[in-house]
Amino acid sequence: MKNKIGVIVFIIVIGIGIAMVLYVSLIPQTSAINRFEAIPERPNDFDAYTRDIWSGAYNDLCEINDGYWKQPEFYGSSWTNAFKTFYDNPDYSKWGVYGQGNMPREISYSFTNLKKGDEFELCSFFHNGFGVWTYQGFQLIPIENEYFDIEITPNQLTVSPTFPVFEDGWTQKIEIKLIAKTDVPIGNYVLGFETQEPNPEYAREETQKALSLTVNKDLYKEECNRYMSEEKCNYLINNREKKYVNGGSYQTERLPLKIIVNVK
């Protein structure tokens, strides 16, 4: 009888052990890295604002505080798709070097009787690509025409990485002033900006800034080793940490921002 009980207990213990192994192997391992530490607290009415911004019903973007536009979700489907690739179950071999985005991609304004010297201001939000572990420098070049001058502030900027963590400065507010050069005839006008490499002096300074930063390299390696070999992790991290690149060397198919001005 004692032997029978001993066998049963042994079987139960072995079963529990197997179950624990399966439990640990099947449940995703939590990361010690806080990817979203630089993201501010999300406002309670975030969904209401993004609903109207995405639909074009609200375009006074200079007035909203950074609690809205510093949320990755503010950038819509591009974030939804990127989350699955880079953050939900990260593939460390897919860390990016280049990428960019702007919110909104297109914005429209209507005016009547625009005279020479009339001006108005608007804002947009220029951000690093998701899953990108480089500091990217850009120069924002205005697309003008015979009727409008455009002033962009800042016209040179560096956006911070979004992987392995979101760093402060990954998205930045861009202030744009449109100035009528002359009386503007009735019609539709397409303005905006495109990106180019910043000037060489700016790039040298930003390279030095990136190299002087302190990062938790060991923590990145620890997490990376969960997904691939130590040798490959070392290669990836050593080649991407504290790296500045000229982001303007990579161009998207569409303008980062198209501004449509309708004069009635």
Each residue's pLDDT tens digit, 135-161: 999 999 999 789 999 999 999 999 999
Identify the pLDDT of residue 87: 86
- Is 12 inside any structural domain? no
Identify the pLDDT of residue 248: 78
- Looking at the structure of the chain, the number of domains it has is 1
- Is 227 inside any structural domain? no
- Is 157 inside any structural domain? yes
- Is 24 inside any structural domain? no
Q: Among 205, 72, 204, 67, which Cα is nearest to 128's? A: 72
- Is 225 inside any structural domain? no
**Tokens of residue 15, six digits:** 């079963």
Instruction: Report the alpha-carbon distance of residue 217 to residue 43 in Å, rounded.
Output: 32
pLDDT > 50? residue 11: no
Instruction: Report the alpha-carbon distance of residue 175 to residue 173 in Å, rounded.
Output: 7
Contact 94, 85 (CB under 8 A): yes
Identify the pLDDT of residue 94: 78
Instruction: Report the alpha-carbon distance of residue 51 to residue 181 in Å, rounded.
Output: 35
Q: What residues make up the domain containing 150?
A: 41-213+243-263
DSSP assigned state of 64:
S
Q: Between residues 21 and 222, which one has the greater pLDDT?
A: 222
- Is 11 inside any structural domain? no
- Is 46 inside any structural domain? yes
The CATH number covering residue 189 comes to 2.60.40.2310
pTM comes to 0.84
Q: Between residues 85 and 1, which one has the greater pLDDT?
A: 85
pLDDT > 90? residue 256: yes
DSSP assigned state of 91:
-
High-pLDDT (> 90) share of the chain, %: 66
Considering only 89-98, 115-124, 214-223, which range has the smallest mean pLDDT? 89-98
Q: Between residues 33 and 12, which one has the greater pLDDT?
A: 33
DSSP assigned state of 181:
S
- How confident is the model over 94-118, as pLDDT tens digits? 788 999 999 999 999 999 999 999 9
Contact 41, 89 (CB under 8 A): no
- Is 147 inside any structural domain? yes
